[in-house]
Amino acid sequence: MSDVREMIRVEKLNKSFGALHVLKDIDFTVKESEVVVLIGASGSGKSTLLRCLNFLELKNDGKVIIEGKETDPKKDNLNEVRQKVGMVFQHFNLFPHKTVLENVIEAPTQVKKIKKAQAVKEAKELLAKVGLGDKADVYPSRLSGGQKQRVAIARALAMKPDIMLFDEPTSALDPELVGEVLATMKELAKEGMTMIVVTHEMGFAREVADKVVYMHDGRIVEVGEPNQLFDNPQEKRTQEFLSSIL
Amino acid sequence: MYLNIIKFGEALFESRNLFAEAAWLTLKLTAVSIFIAIFIGLFFALIKISKIKVLEWIANFYIFIVRGTPLIVQIFVFYYGLTEIAMISGFWSATLGLAFHNGAYIAEIFRGSIQSIGKGQTEAGRSLGMNRSQTMKRIILPQAFRRALPPLGNQFIIGLKDSSLAAFIGLTEIFGAATTMGANTFDYMTWLLVSAVYYLILVFLLTLVVSFIEKKMAASD
């Protein structure tokens, strides 16, 4: 197993918003094709950690190493790093003035300068894959939350990222729409995508995750395989958190 | 002085050539000045939200000057000021004065509408690898422009009516034509009302154009 490629390595990461110290000495690695689920109470820093991985938030201290290369926001071109790291947001953030298809081809045509015909072909394949092949010419306002989130996943995949970040992808959805988004994510995991998921869906974590990370108050408290962490948590705080939500 | 409908109708009809020309001048003044003002407005809106202090100050100073002084003063300053340093016509003095003036209000309209677009849109663009200017141009501005349209339409109407002040630097646009005719006939009331009819028609047409654009841009709703 040791020859599996390391996709993300975080060392001694610290992040503050003003006086608020949100991430404290985070050490964290993700290997290729691994699905890592971050859990913890709100305010524990999981979303901030995720957003540090594609530099929507910039660290104050420590190292963020993506695919073996340490990224320095001051020197490196973040736009290039971000092309390798796709992100799906809690509130979808689709572009409302563009159709579903236009949402998906926007970055490939504008950033990667792929020919439009080629981008459209790939986008249609991706939309079919997330079950929305018939919605290409519709505007996002006509879609349900679950459909929007699946378009957002297709949009991120269109850049052919090596890593996908999911920031509470089902938290804004009606309960009956959660399943379709999780199903899309499971399929992606099965294909070997490296995924880091912030979620409250413990069922998903148990079923799909290779590794579950419990965060509390800006620190990683416990890391383990799902069975071990859910059934036999070692830390008292993990036990308390799990008993409060299960 | 009483109003005679028939006499008014005759005045309106017989002066049609003069006023058609005057209305054309009003339209040119408005269209060109608003066109320039949109670019001025966009420029100052962008530097105001640039988070670069010096640029912010420059934008704030410009808006402070424009909002704090009367338009008629600005037009005269452009007229006497510009004609001293460059050979510039009355038309361009008035047009630039109006553009300078409307630009400040349009800057504030754009700034408000850009800032009303949620942060998530910028984050979505950036997370896909788009750079700052691609995100602004392709994601934020199209949405912001749509939101700006109603107040922008309002500003266009104000600009059209404010172009009447060009009469004071000798341009025979609609209001200028009315005062000239009034002085010639000693019947200001009739000619001012004639000018009002022309302004109403132009404002009405402008309203139609703006709501047409609004409807076209509402396709994504």
Residues of chain A neighbouring B123 (CB-CB closer than 8 A): 56, 89, 93
Task: Domain of residue B186: give its range.
Answer: 2-220
Q: Does some domain include residue A35?
A: yes
Q: Does some domain include residue A157?
A: yes
Give pLDDT < 50 ranges for chain A. Answer: 1
Per-residue model confidence (pLDDT) at position B81: 85
Residues of chain A neighbouring B128 (CB-CB closer than 8 A): 82-83, 86, 106-107, 111, 155-156, 159
Q: Does some domain include residue A118?
A: yes
**Number of folded domains in chain B?**
1
Residues of chain B neighbouring A107 (CB-CB closer than 8 A): 128-130
Q: Does some domain include residue A1?
A: no
Percentage of chain B with pLDDT > 70?
99
pLDDT tens-digit map of B107-156? 999 999 999 999 999 999 999 999 999 999 999 999 999 999 999 999 99
Q: Does some domain include residue A44?
A: yes
Question: Domain containing B133 — which CATH number?
Answer: 1.10.3720.10
Per-residue model confidence (pLDDT) at position B145: 94
Question: Chain-wide mean pLDDT for chain B?
Answer: 93
Per-residue model confidence (pLDDT) at position B6: 85
Task: Domain of residue A28: give its range.
Answer: 6-244
pLDDT tens-digit map of A123-151? 999 999 999 999 999 999 999 999 999 99
Per-residue model confidence (pLDDT) at position B2: 58
pLDDT tens-digit map of A16-59? 999 999 999 999 999 999 999 999 998 899 999 999 999 999 98
Q: Does some domain include residue A206?
A: yes
Residues in B whose CB is inside 8 Å of some CB of A read 118, 120-121, 123-131, 134, 138-139, 142-143, 146, 219-221
Question: Domain containing A129 — which CATH number?
Answer: 3.40.50.300
Q: Does some domain include residue A91?
A: yes
Per-residue model confidence (pLDDT) at position A71: 87
Distance from CA of A67 to the nearest CA of B (A): 17
**Number of folded domains in chain A?**
1
Q: Does some domain include residue A203?
A: yes
Give the residue-averaged pLDDT of B1-30. 88
**Higher-pLDDT residue of B86, B40:** B40
Distance from CA of A223 to the nearest CA of B (A): 27
User: Residue B167 pLDDT more than 80?
Assistant: yes
How far is residue B152's CA from residue B102's CA, in Å, rounded to a whole number?
10
